[in-house]
Amino acid sequence: MKMLIVGNWPRAYLARVRESFPQVTFVATADPVEALREVADADAIFGQPGREIILAGKQLRWIQSPSAGVEWMWNTPELPALDIVVTNMRGAHAATIAEHFFAMILHLTRQFPALIEAQRQRKWLRPVEPPPVGLSGRTLGVLGLGNIGRAIAQRGKGFDMRVIAVDINEVEQPPYVDELHRLDGLHTMLEQADFQAVAIPITPESRGLIGAAQLELMKPTAYLGIMSRGKIVDEQALVGALKENMLAGVGADVMATEPLPADDPLWDAPRVILSPHMSGQSEQTAAGVTTILQENIRRFLANEELHNTVVKERGY
């Protein structure tokens, strides 16, 4: 078996996988030209390959995405018809992303921007204005009840919050979710949520799902956390909502354009904290990704069903 690893993956984790499977030839490259050459006789890819690389893989039977999101597939419309299994890393990043969501929310609700600035000025800032906001007894809305959404919901319940979730699919209601609705419950959730998490994958159906009309439904005291992918929330409408004081604050780990251009108005929007699509990064996540990859390599070699198979037509 030959596995092509495209992109930059930490050498320490690659060395661990290589040691576990000496019978597998691993070729790692961040050079698209080299990747195009090496994929010709590759059986599998670990990474997010482009259309040209996928179509050049005549022996290709499996692509393991290093992330839970697989929106890169939309760039290869032929992929659903090809005899190639796509798997993702759902579950590996969930805990860290959920922690990041609450880190952003607590940063905003506990007025840390003002406190950090006061510390720089050696100023004893009491009282803090506006007053800090507590989470206990408040309503948490979760859009998307996959692994990430469930991790956020579970931690919200740990803060003694009331949890409402909406998912496009029929999913099982966990004990830490007080209400679960299909997509027709979106407006009700947005109206009731004091804190709203966006944790759905980006698909043609979810693109632009949260626009100006949806943001207007939210309370002016509500906080929004965008954790899954950019373009689900209309950023132009989001900046307008913040400037018009229609939202108390926003934490965004993902943007429509990444890296975010230096002249993008989101940088200067009031009451917003941005992180560069890194909420899933941690030592635990890297170890989880490696574990899933190793198990799927074992299964591939044994001709067993792979974990975390993606429905290619659906996009997740």
Three-class HEC string of the chain:
CEEEEECCCCHHHHHHHHHHCCCCEEEEECCHHHHHHHHHHCCEEECCCCHHHHHHCCCCCEEECCCCCCHHHHHCCCHHHCCCEEECCCCCCHHHHHHHHHHHHHHHHCCHHHHHHHHHCCCCCCCCCCCCCCCCCCEEEEECCCHHHHHHHHHHHHCCCEEEEECCCCCCCCCCCCEEECHHHHHHHHHHCCEEEECCCCCCCCCCCECHHHHHHCCCCCEEEECCCCCCECHHHHHHHHHCCCCCEEEECCCCCCCCCCCCHHHHCCCEEECCCCCCCCHHHHHHHHHHHHHHHHHHHCCCCCCCECCCCCCC
pLDDT per residue as tens digits for the range 150-162? 999 999 999 999 9
Q: What is the pLDDT of residue 9?
A: 85
The ranges of the chain with pLDDT < 50 are none
Based on the number of CB atoms within 10 Å of its own CB, is 51 exposed (0-12), middle (13-18) or buried (19 or more)?
Answer: middle
Residue in this structure with the two tokens 């006061």, named with its chain if needed = 118
Q: What is the pLDDT of residue 90?
A: 93
Q: At 251, phi and psi to the nearest 5?
A: -115, 125
Q: What is the pLDDT of residue 219?
A: 98
Q: Which fold has domain 2-90+283-301?
A: Rossmann fold (3.40.50)
Q: What is the CATH number of domain 94-274?
A: 3.40.50.720
Q: What is the pLDDT of residue 246?
A: 98
Cα 127 to Cα 257: distance, rounded to the nearest angstrom: 38
Q: State the span(s) of the chain assigned CATH 3.40.50.720.
A: 2-90+283-301, 94-274
